[in-house]
């Protein structure tokens, strides 16, 4: 009886403890939902292996500082320079990796399921001269990023949009970035995001990406209040 109690207690404790850690969110759609533009094999490996590893390694880095499991991810990333020195790099890389992939899955959707609203179109025209001009500038930034990283469409509180690029798993929460900006769209340009289908053709991947952008989500993010 005592043994059963102890086993049950250990099990419950493990659930409580595990629930406090950062989690791998499920994809908001099936692995094959973005076909043929992003293939299901890539999505499966990207989410189940790469994204999962960032979550696992973030949790591992925080093991000695388990009170940090209670924080929101953006809160943790926002104060990464105040964290104990020995976990700063791990939080920057793995916490950044978790945040960026959470964001990336959210701003994609099956091809044809959303489109640019008249209002968002006017915003893109106002900032870039046209939707096509915006896409070209974004694709250019994707190609210009040397090595691994991300391309972002960001908004300033005045409503001005700009395209920026970050190395590795950096984002707007990384040291040295402008805290006033808000991300509304991103593209993962790590080779793991496209190599199975596109091999070295990053440009083709960036062009195909437009078919699976969740424009409704982009507009929603644009309309959300600034932190
Ligand atoms: Mn990735």
Q: pLDDT tens digits for 118-139?
A: 999 999 999 999 999 999 999 9
Which domain does 186 fall in, by range? 118-223
Is 22 part of any domain?
Answer: no
Q: Is residue 41 part of a domain?
A: no
In this structure, are strands 182-188 and 149-155 parallel, antiparallel, or unpaired? antiparallel
How many of the other CB atoms lie within 10 Å of CB of 29?
A: 16
| Alpha carbon of 189 to ligand 1 centroid (Å) | 7
CA–centroid distance, residue 116 to ligand 1 (Å):
25
Examine the pLDDT at 155 and tell me if it is beyond 60: yes
How far lies 8's CA from each of 1, 136, 151, in Å? 11, 58, 47
Q: What is the pLDDT of residue 16?
A: 54
Which run of H or E residues covers position 197? helix 195-198
Residue 62 CA to residue 154 CA, distance in Å, equals 29
The backbone torsions φ and ψ at residue 199, rounded to the nearest 5 degrees and listed phi first, read 45, -125
- Distance CA(59)–CA(65), nearest Å, equals 10
Instruction: Count Cβ atoms below 10 Å from residue 141 Cβ, excluding itself.
Output: 20
Residue 129 lies in a domain: yes
Tens of pLDDT along 34-70?
A: 999 999 999 999 999 999 999 999 999 999 999 999 9
d(CA 96, CA 74): 9
Instruction: Inform me whether the pLDDT recorded for 23 exceeds 80.
Output: yes
| Distance, CA of 14 to CA of 106 (rounded, Å) | 30
For residue 129, give the 3-state DSSP assignment. coil
Percent pLDDT > 70 in the chain is 91
Q: Say what the pLDDT of residue 178 is.
A: 87
Mean pLDDT of the 136-155 span? 97
Q: What is the pLDDT of residue 9?
A: 58
pLDDT value at residue 6: 54
Residue 54 lies in a domain: no
Residue 49 lies in a domain: no
CA 3–ligand 1 middle distance (angstroms): 44
151 CB burial (10 A radius; 0-12, 13-18, 19+): buried
For residue 172, being part of any structural domain is answered with yes
Residue 19 resides in a domain: no
Q: What is the pLDDT of residue 225?
A: 87
Distance 6 CA to ligand 1 centre (A): 41
Overall pTM surpassing 0.85 (yes/no): yes
Mean pLDDT of the chain: 93
The residue ranking higher by pLDDT, 108 or 180, is 108
Ligand 1 centroid distance, CA of 193 (Å): 5
Spatial neighbors of 73 by CB under 8 A, at least 6 apart, are 22, 95, 98, 99, 102
Task: State the total domains in the chain.
Answer: 1
CATH number at residue 203: 3.55.40.20
How much is the pLDDT for 7? 57
- Residue 147 confidence (pLDDT): 95
**pLDDT-based confidence at 179, cuts 50/70/90?**
confident
pLDDT recorded at residue 100: 98
Query: What count of other Cβ atoms lies within 10 Å of the Cβ of residue 179?
Result: 10
3-state DSSP assignment of residue 224: coil
Q: Is residue 202 part of a domain?
A: yes
């Amino acid at each position: 009886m005592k043994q059963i109690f102890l086993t049950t207690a250990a099990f419950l404790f493990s659930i409580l403890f595990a629930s406090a850690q950062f989690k791998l969110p499920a994809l908001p759609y099936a692995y094959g939902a973005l076909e043929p533009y992003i293939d299901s094999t890539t999505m499966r490996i990207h989410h189940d292996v790469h994204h999962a590893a960032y979550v696992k390694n973030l949790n591992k880095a925080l093991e000695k500082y388990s009170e940090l499991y209670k924080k929101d991810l953006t809160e943790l990333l926002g104060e990464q320079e105040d964290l104990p020195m020995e976990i700063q790099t791990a939080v920057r890389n793995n916490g950044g990796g978790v945040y960026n992939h959470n964001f990336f899955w959210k701003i994609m959707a099956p091809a044809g399921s959303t489109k640019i609203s008249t209002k968002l179109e006017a915003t893109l025209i106002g900032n870039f001269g046209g939707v096509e001009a915006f896409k070209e500038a974004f694709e250019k930034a994707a190609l210009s990023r040397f090595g691994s990283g991300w391309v972002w469409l960001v908004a300033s509180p005045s409503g001005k949009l700009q395209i920026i690029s970050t190395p590795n798993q950096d984002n707007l929460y990384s040291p040295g970035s402008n805290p006033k900006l808000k991300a509304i769209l991103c593209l993962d340009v790590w080779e793991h995001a496209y190599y199975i289908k596109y091999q070295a053709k990053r440009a083709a991947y960036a062009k195909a990406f437009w078919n699976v952008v969740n424009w409704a989500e982009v507009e929603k993010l644009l309309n959300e209040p600034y932190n």
